Chains A and B, each alone.
Chain A
């Protein structure tokens, strides 16, 4: 069914009235709500600028299938290719080939993290910087108050993205000489809660908990509620879920960091359109996040989540 749909879209693109066809290939499948938002951005921009857009992504995460999709997108010689650099080494050859063929390539969500001379020469990266997400989380916490001691709950030690977020937080807090350390809380909520509780027993002066994803935020919220620590221990989160939004509204969580992935679908279409038309393109990277969600804007954010923009 999906193949037929894609085929129809390609036919439409070739024989339709649209001037350009842009492909977006991502490692995330259309069933993933995160990517559903990106797809909406892509579709909205396509309609606005009168270009055909095609979204391709494996149903379930699979590097091989993802690379196959990238290759099949390139084989169709689109007017623009938008792609997540999930694995720079595996993507190196197909993307360099595409660029050589004259297909403009825009990277989204995950950049090529290798040094510039080795990196794939795509036009621009549109996405969040994980390290900056940590930096902004720490700064937002400092705006509120200066913690006596902070702890970073990391649920998957060694995960490159989470470690970069943690490093961002640590760098900012260490500069202010605030004691801060990473705590391996595992992905299990019960263990996470007990481990954080033990940490608070060991260091009762801890008044700020940073969580790096929902698997840290959810047990941290539970801990603060169960132990009646609201107001005494403040939580700063990264990523958006319904539970985190509710906790921001009732004050258990101070803020969270969002990467506004709608823009990762929308902006590349705009950029590719402007590039094809006038040769204009922003330089190096365009950051869609970190964007801070706190009490001041949580209602708007909640509404846009429901409408599929976040």
Chain B
């Protein structure tokens, strides 16, 4: 396949430019630094989750449990800190927990052969249930200040926050991994044509398991950025996030069936969802229409992306 620069992301780029111009015209406050920073913050947490999802989707698997992991990991951290553990220990343990939840998804899916859609649907419900049972349905508040949490959810300047920095760094790192390393090639090959990938000697099971771990780990990290800002974890945190993360990836050009996708596209997709939310409020659109609007964008983006893909692939 001939690789045009930014071809995969073209749909998302066109979309974001159109909305950017549209909202700038509709509201004079849209272009303010304050607003753009606010949109970027909103996009960051979703985007970090969506990067992991993108990797996993390219390798041909799904993860619906990210929304629950997004809440379980910071909840574990909150409980550990409140119990008197040092911040760094609490951070490491809870991130390890996140990674092991991903490992569990991967092992169950690959060892039993059931679709990851089902495995992670199950773990999504299971971890949410555990969360509700442990907290009794009530939010957990951080009982003391934590400097470690500040580098996840604190503010830098001009309305920008550390979550945004994490988002940019992670997007660059995973873009490089996906586009410039042998592992990246393996990911595309595993999702594109599993049989051929296996025949070539690619350890497809290991690739998938690693991606399950990355997906959970990033979801947990994103949850910690939210926790770092609000210092409180509601047991409903992250509900519905899995679908929005998948939407970001799809708007960014990633295929549901695997083998095709882009971290940069997902980055733009997540930013676009945040931008539309904020833009519609600023344009004074009636509040109950936001969700409907995002639904339309998702479908239009998927259609445009499919067209582009056909042109590229011939």
Which A residues lie at the B interface, using CB under 8 A? 31-34, 36, 60, 157, 181-184, 186-191, 194-195, 197-199, 201-202, 214-215, 218-219, 222, 226, 241-243
Q: Is the C-beta of B157 less than 8 angstroms from some C-beta in chain A? A: no
CB distance from B225 to the nearest CB of A (A): 8
Contact B139 A202 (CB under 8 A): no
- Contact A188:B288 (CB < 8 A) given known A33-B137, A60-B132: no
Q: Which residues of A contact B45 (CB under 8 A)?
A: 190
Q: Is the C-beta of B232 less than 8 angstroms from some C-beta in chain A? A: yes
Q: Is the C-beta of B138 less than 8 angstroms from some C-beta in chain A? A: yes
Contact B141 A31 (CB under 8 A): no
Q: Which residues of B contact A243 (CB under 8 A)?
A: 139, 141, 232
Q: Which residues of A contact B236 (CB under 8 A)?
A: 187, 215
Cα A195 to Cα B273 with chains together (Å): 12
Main secondary structure on chain B at its contact with chain A? Answer: helix
Q: Which residues of B contact A32 (CB under 8 A)?
A: 136-137
Q: Which residues of B contact A183 (CB under 8 A)?
A: 281, 287
Contact A157 B277 (CB under 8 A): no
Contact A157 B136 (CB under 8 A): no
- Contact A187:B287 (CB < 8 A) given known A194-B38, A201-B29, A218-B139: no
Contact A197 B238 (CB under 8 A): no
CB distance from B230 to the nearest CB of A (A): 5
Q: Which residues of B contact A226 (CB under 8 A)?
A: 155
B27, B278, B287 pick with most chain A CB within 10 angstroms: B287
Q: Identify which of B232, B277, B284, B287 contacts A191 (C-beta below 8 A).
A: B277
A183, A184, A215 pick with most chain B CB within 10 angstroms: A184
Cα A199 to Cα B287 with chains together (Å): 10
- A-B contacts at CB below 8 angstroms, number: 93
Q: Can you list 23 A-B pairs, Cβ within 8 angstroms, ordered by A?
A: A32-B136, A33-B136, A60-B129, A181-B287, A184-B287, A184-B290, A184-B291, A186-B240, A188-B238, A189-B226, A189-B234, A189-B237, A190-B42, A190-B229, A194-B39, A194-B277, A195-B281, A197-B38, A198-B35, A202-B282, A202-B284, A219-B230, A241-B138
Cα A197 to Cα B288 with chains together (Å): 17
Contact A214 B234 (CB under 8 A): yes
Main secondary structure on chain A at its contact with chain B? Answer: helix
A187, A191, A199 pick with most chain B CB within 10 angstroms: A191
Residues 121-165 of B, flagged 1 when their CB comes within 8 A of A and 0 if not, give 000000001001100111101000000000000010000000000
Closest residue of chain A to B284 (Cβ to Cβ) is: A202
Number of interface residues of B (CB under 8 A): 41
CB distance from B289 to the nearest CB of A (A): 9
Contact A198 B274 (CB under 8 A): no
Interface positions of B from 254 to 309, Cβ below 8 Å from A: 274, 277-278, 281-284, 287-288, 290-291
Contact A198 B282 (CB under 8 A): yes
Closest residue of chain A to B40 (Cβ to Cβ) is: A194
Contact B277 A195 (CB under 8 A): yes
Contact A199 B281 (CB under 8 A): yes
Contact B129 A201 (CB under 8 A): no
CB distance from A179 to the nearest CB of B (A): 12
Contact A201 B137 (CB under 8 A): no
Q: Which residues of A contact B240 (CB under 8 A)?
A: 186-188
Q: Is the C-beta of B179 less than 8 angstroms from some C-beta in chain A? A: no
Q: Is the C-beta of B241 less than 8 angstroms from some C-beta in chain A? A: yes
CB distance from B57 to the nearest CB of A (A): 21
Q: Which residues of A contact B237 (CB under 8 A)?
A: 188-189
Q: Is the C-beta of B32 less than 8 angstroms from some C-beta in chain A? A: yes
Q: Which residues of A contact B132 (CB under 8 A)?
A: 60
Closest residue of chain B to A59 (Cβ to Cβ) is: B133
Closest residue of chain B to A204 (Cβ to Cβ) is: B29
Cα A60 to Cα B240 with chains together (Å): 20
Cα A190 to Cα B238 with chains together (Å): 10
Q: Which residues of B contact A215 (CB under 8 A)?
A: 234, 236
Contact A187 B239 (CB under 8 A): yes
Q: Which residues of A contact B32 (CB under 8 A)?
A: 201
Q: Identify which of A190, A201, A219, A222 contacts B34 (C-beta below 8 A).
A: A201
Cα A194 to Cα B136 with chains together (Å): 28
Q: Is the C-beta of B65 less than 8 angstroms from some C-beta in chain A? A: no
CB distance from A21 to the nearest CB of B (A): 28
Q: Identify which of B34, B232, B277, B291 contacts A218 (C-beta below 8 A).
A: B232
Q: Is the C-beta of B211 less than 8 angstroms from some C-beta in chain A? A: no
Q: Which residues of A contact B41 (CB under 8 A)?
A: 190, 194
CB distance from A228 to the nearest CB of B (A): 12
Contact A194 B133 (CB under 8 A): no
Contact A242 B278 (CB under 8 A): no
Q: Which residues of B contact A201 (CB under 8 A)?
A: 29, 32, 34-35, 282
Cα A182 to Cα B286 with chains together (Å): 9
